[in-house]
Chain A
Amino acid sequence: MSPNNLLLRLFPVLIATIVTMTASPVRAGESAGMALLERRCASCHNLTGPAPTTIHALWARKAPDLFYAGNKFRKAWLTSWLQHPVRIRPAGEFYANHVKPGPNRDMVDESTLTPHPALNAADANLAAEALMTLRAHDDLIAKENVPPGTISKSMGSLVFDKFLGCMACHRIRPDFGGLSGPELYTAGSRLKPAFMASYIRSPQSWDPKIWMPNKHVSDTRIVQLVHYLQALSKGKSHE
């Protein structure tokens, strides 16, 4: 066999070796990340979908679905939060499972809520990487276009509270707002803009039985709400 023929025969092997050497660390990382999600997260979070399609399945859900986490969360927030988790849903999931009658109003029964486990930095990075690959509903995200922009705090508050009544269920400060929905004063750093827009437009497209209504919010108002939530999470807004 001539040296040229040998080179030709070995060429595919060489290419395959190079591809394997460059790709395997990534695949190994993804695989380790998914294994971590399966081991640490899957007992409470749905990683594969679909979302509950019956009320009783909704009631049985222990924690938010993560099968579209890559379209929902900002990776930097995930990495940080997983190391220092703080409750996002004041009344837990499903809220009515954690509420009992009180003297003046129904109260959250804190004894039924369990803290989210914390991960070390390496695992948080690995988990965030893996969560970013879970991207159900790309089609819904592709429909949204939220231009960068700002809104005054007073105008944003007017839209959020007076025009749309969102504060009924959501907190916009740690000490103000409703409890049955997730708090929104960190939503801007937690969530991707297109996800916020899409979820406000049609919560049922993401979670068919969710207790958030479709208020048929206009395109203009949706953009205003996203800018308002971004301003809230920055702790500042343009007065």
Chain B
Amino acid sequence: MNKKSFFLLGCLVFWTLFPAMAGTSLAASAKDNYRTYCAQCHGIQGNGRGVNIRDMSVQPRNHTDASYMSQRSDEDLAKADREGGLAIDKSVLMPPWGDTLSPAEIKDMVQYLRTLCHCTYNAQ
């Protein structure tokens, strides 16, 4: 194998593996953020049955509910995450996480929510 072929093979391996590695890292980060910040109300399984919910006047969203989650755009989910429930005419019990999570982390969180509901935005 000459130097040029070796270089091209290296590039191919990098381009093949790097996005996968990056994706794994981002997903893990959003999953960790979910466990830290969201799970206290939305549940450690994402089913809206968190440890805090017993006395809440409004129950947290079930993030595994594909029929509801598919009606929410990615921007809506990001806005609720960033600015809190009131920003999308929902409950004050959903707080803003914009001072805790970076814009990139919030973007990743939206993608993580899509993995919980196994759904995409599907406006009807």
Task: Point out residues on A near B: beta carbons under 8 Å.
Answer: 55-56, 58-59, 91, 95-96, 99-102, 104-108, 162-165, 167-169, 176-180, 202, 204, 209, 211, 213-216
Contact = CB atoms under 8 A, between A and B. Distances in A.
Nearest to A167: B55
A165 B95 contact: yes
B40 A96 contact: yes
A108 B93 contact: no
Given A101-B44, A101-B45, A96 B91 contact: no
A117 B50 CA distance: 29
B117 interface: no
15 contacts: A96-B44, A99-B44, A102-B49, A105-B43, A105-B53, A106-B51, A165-B92, A165-B93, A165-B94, A168-B93, A169-B41, A178-B56, A204-B99, A211-B37, A213-B99
Contacts of B32: 55-56
Given A101-B45, A213-B100, A214-B99, A169 B40 contact: yes
Interface in B24-47: 32-33, 35-37, 39-41, 43-45
B54 interface: yes
Given A95-B51, A96-B40, A165-B91, 18 more contacts: A91-B51, A96-B35, A96-B36, A99-B39, A106-B44, A162-B92, A165-B93, A168-B93, A169-B41, A176-B55, A177-B55, A202-B99, A204-B100, A209-B100, A213-B97, A213-B100, A215-B96, A216-B99
Interface string B78-110: 000000100000011111110110000000000
A105 B51 contact: yes
A163 B93 CA distance: 9
A177 B97 CA distance: 21
Contacts of B36: 55, 58-59, 96, 209, 211
A99 B35 CA distance: 11
Contacts of A165: 91-95
Prevailing SS type, chain B contact patch: loop
B122 interface: no
B73 interface: no
A193 B93 CA distance: 24
Nearest to A54: B32
A171 B84 CA distance: 21
Contacts of A59: 36
A215 B51 contact: no
Identify which of A58, A167, A178 gathers the most chain B CB atoms within 10 Å of its CB: A178
A142 to B, nearest CB: 22
Given A55-B33, A96-B39, A215 B53 contact: no
Contacts of A106: 39, 43-44, 49-51
A56 B32 CA distance: 8
B115 interface: no
